[in-house]
Amino acid sequence: MLHSRLCTAARVRFATLALLPPLVAASPIAAQTVSIDFDDGTPGQTIDDFYSTLGVTFSHARWADALGPPFDGVDDHLGSTLPYVVIHSTSSTILHESDPIAARFEPPVSSVSLRAMDVGSAGIRVNAYDDATAGTLVASDSGTGAGSGTGNPVDLFVSAPLIRRIEVFQPNTPIMEGTLLDNLEFTPVATPSVPALSAPALAALVAGLVAASRFARRQALSRPSGRQPVRAGSAGRRG
Ligand SMILES: [Ca+2]
């Protein structure tokens, strides 16, 4: 009897809870794509954590005036947003693989795009990793051009479930053929929301459980028992 009552109560409680998932279900927070045109900095200064509130910090990157020195022609900037672009903090427009421009993302991102201008025979490449300092290569993209690449912009794009860092460099042993970077975009990975019950939802949940318990108890008490009490001394005796 006790087991039967408990089972009935449990079933009714479960049925009540089954009606409540819309109140407690967690859904991912939509990720907003972040766009940076680098036109709000100061030429000559390193970028570092200037955009950290947007979720990205840089190594070996500085702002440069797209129409000023050290660029050797007015067409170098074609494809950029003016007035500023990004170059290496010490090697200017030359991006060595051993000393790349790096960007680190916190929170991690699922995709990154950027534009390289003046891409020539030295090419341009972006490698994406799942760690801020080391990790595994999870995606890459590259492009190339002819000669010094004047007036040749290349769009790069990488995507992976989790990207924490990218490195950008010229893969074909740059000597005097440089490139400029601009227009970074990235999309943070969607994060699950923390489910929270509002006060009315919590009150409804408690009321539902109490009502279910009372209902189960009434059902159990009103059900006729299938077992008759045994009277001592009467069973099995015949006159
Ligand atoms: Ca720009």
DSSP code at position 218:
H
* C-alpha 113 – ligand 1 centre gap (Å): 14
* C-alpha 175 – ligand 1 centre gap (Å): 25
The tokens describing 3, both together, are: 């087991």
**pLDDT at residue 69, rounded to an integer:** 79
* C-alpha 82 – ligand 1 centre gap (Å): 5
CATH topology (fold) of 28-192? Jelly Rolls (2.60.120)
The beta strand positions in 19-136, using DSSP E, are 28-29, 34-36, 56-59, 61-65, 84-88, 101-117, 124-129
Work out the end-to-end distance of the chain between its first and last CA atoms, rounded to an integer number of angstroms.
35
Interaxial angle between packed helices 2-18 and 199-222, expressed in degrees from 0 to 180 and rounded to the nearest 10: 150
**pLDDT at residue 165, rounded to an integer:** 98
Q: Nearest Cα to 116, choosing from 100, 104, 132?
A: 100
Longest dimension (CA), the chain: 125
pLDDT tens, per residue, the chain with 239 residues: 444 454 444 454 444 444 444 445 555 666 899 999 999 999 999 999 999 999 999 999 999 999 887 776 678 888 999 999 999 999 999 999 999 999 999 999 999 999 999 999 999 999 999 999 999 999 999 999 998 888 899 999 999 999 999 999 999 976 678 999 999 999 999 877 655 556 666 677 667 767 767 777 777 667 655 444 444 444 444 43
**pLDDT at residue 229, rounded to an integer:** 46
* C-alpha 37 – ligand 1 centre gap (Å): 4
* C-alpha 80 – ligand 1 centre gap (Å): 6
Looking at this protein, which amino acid is placed at residue 155? Answer: D
**pLDDT at residue 116, rounded to an integer:** 97
**pLDDT at residue 173, rounded to an integer:** 75
Neighbours of ion ligand 1 (CB under 5 A): 37-39, 81, 84, 182
* C-alpha 86 – ligand 1 centre gap (Å): 8
* C-alpha 114 – ligand 1 centre gap (Å): 11
* C-alpha 180 – ligand 1 centre gap (Å): 10
Can you tell me the distance from the alpha carbon of 209 to that of 32, in angstroms, rounded to the nearest whole number? 39
* C-alpha 237 – ligand 1 centre gap (Å): 105
Domain residue ranges in the chain: 2-25+195-222, 28-192
* C-alpha 109 – ligand 1 centre gap (Å): 22
**pLDDT at residue 68, rounded to an integer:** 85
**pLDDT at residue 226, rounded to an integer:** 47
**pLDDT at residue 38, rounded to an integer:** 98
- Could you tell me if 222 and 8 are in contact, meaning their C-beta atoms sit under 8 angstroms apart? no
* C-alpha 161 – ligand 1 centre gap (Å): 28
Provide the whole-model pTM: 0.70
* C-alpha 46 – ligand 1 centre gap (Å): 15
